[in-house]
Amino acid sequence: MAMLLIFLGWSTPLPRGWTPWRDQTVSLLGIIGAPILGGLIASRRPRNLYGWLWLGFGLGLALQSLAMSYEAYTLVVEPGSLAAPKTISHVLELGGQVALTLAPLLMLLFPMGRLPSRRWCPLAWISTTAGAVLLSLVRFFDNPDQAGGTISIAAIAVVSVIFMAFLLSALSIVVRYRRTSGAERQQLKWFALAAVLIGAVTTGHLLLLDVLLPEAFLNLLDAATIACLYVAVGIAILRYRLYDIDIIINRTLVYGSLTVTLVLVYFGSVVELQDILRALTG
């Protein structure tokens, strides 16, 4: 549905401040892999809760993306063609809060759909409860920051709890890795490889690559990185050629280090050349 609205409205430029159709398309391409991954795992491993979590996470992101396209099409491309753009868009945006609630569980329950131990149960309950509270705040207040000081403080506190739950859930991967062996350890390696790739791209953003590289390229890079996460999780859960991960990790380290070195040399040379030309030409 979102892709159809983007296709129909592509020729109509959106006002400044709205997300361009091109960026909406790239974002949707990065999202669509999540429900596909969830559906694939759920169909192959129906008793594994993990696949259903990915399915819910992906559907939540898809609804959030649809909200943006729905509002843009109804208010700009064909005003009045679809009913209640503000209300329906606000409801669809709740999918983003659902995805945020499920995000810590995607790490906490990886790969078997079970907690590392019963000691992690409070974290799962706290994370889920915080997500439900945030969902309620967003549902009943269009903008919690403008609904009053109490609501604003509550929203900040809930988001902080979810963020801490996310970090602790990431720590659970390390704890699980130290306690396991065999196939499950190989599964965790696939997840870790994808996490390192995402971390490298995030570090690139922090190192001002947003200024040096075109925005369209960066959006495609982000979508490709997320797609790598979907592939890694799918391979880990379905155990397809699972033991090739050690070879892939070794090659990634070698080629990744070489690529980073070449990129640093390239940008360093460009900056140095600019300084020399500026000195010569004034």
Say how many CA atoms lie within 13 Å of 267 toward its Cβ: 12
Say which residue, 251 or 11, is predicted with more confidence.
11
Give pLDDT tens digits for 190-214: 888 787 777 777 777 666 665 666 6
Most confident of 52-61, 171-180, 252-261: 52-61
Residue 218 has pLDDT above 70, yes or no: yes
109 and 50 Cβ atoms separated by less than 8 Å: yes
User: Nearest to residue 232, comparing CAs of 240, 153, 85?
Assistant: 240
Residue 262 pLDDT more than 60? no
User: Token pair of 226, please?
Assistant: 């997320």
Q: How far apart are CA 260 and CA 201, in angstroms?
A: 11
Q: Determine which of 60-74, 75-89, 209-223, 262-276 has the lowest per-residue pLDDT on average.
A: 262-276
Structure confidence at residue 166 (pLDDT): 87
- Decide if pLDDT at 63 tops 50: yes
Residues 101 and 73 sit within 8 Å (Cβ to Cβ) = no
Q: With beta carbons less than 8 A apart as the criterion, state whether 218 and 257 touch.
A: no
Could you tell me which of 138, 131, 147, 25 has the C-alpha nearest to residue 89? 138
Residue 254: pLDDT band by 50, 70, 90 thresholds?
A: very low
Tell whether the model's pLDDT for residue 235 goes beyond 50. yes
Residue 247 burial by Cβ neighbours in a 10 Å radius (0-12, 13-18, 19+): exposed
pLDDT given at position 38: 85
Cα separation values, 100 from 51, 61, 86, 166, Å: 16, 9, 22, 10
Model pLDDT, residue 125:
92
- The overall average pLDDT reported for the chain is 76
Please report where in the chains the tokens 């791209």 appear, as a residue: 201
- pTM of the predicted model, to two decimals? 0.74
What digits encode the pLDDT tens for the residues 238-249? Answer: 765 544 544 554
Nearest to 50 by CA among 103, 113, 114: 113
Model confidence over 125-165: pLDDT tens digits? 998 998 888 888 777 765 555 555 566 777 788 888 888 88
- Whose structure tokens read 């109804």? 74
Q: Give the pLDDT band of residue 280 (cuts 50, 70, 90).
A: low
Place of tokens 């129909």: 8
Taking the C-alpha atoms of residue 80 and residue 73, their distance in angstroms, rounded to an integer, is 9
- Where exactly are the structural domains of the chain? 1-92, 106-179, 182-282
Please name the helix (run of DSSP H) or strand (run of DSSP E) that holds residue 63, with its range, or none. Answer: helix 49-72
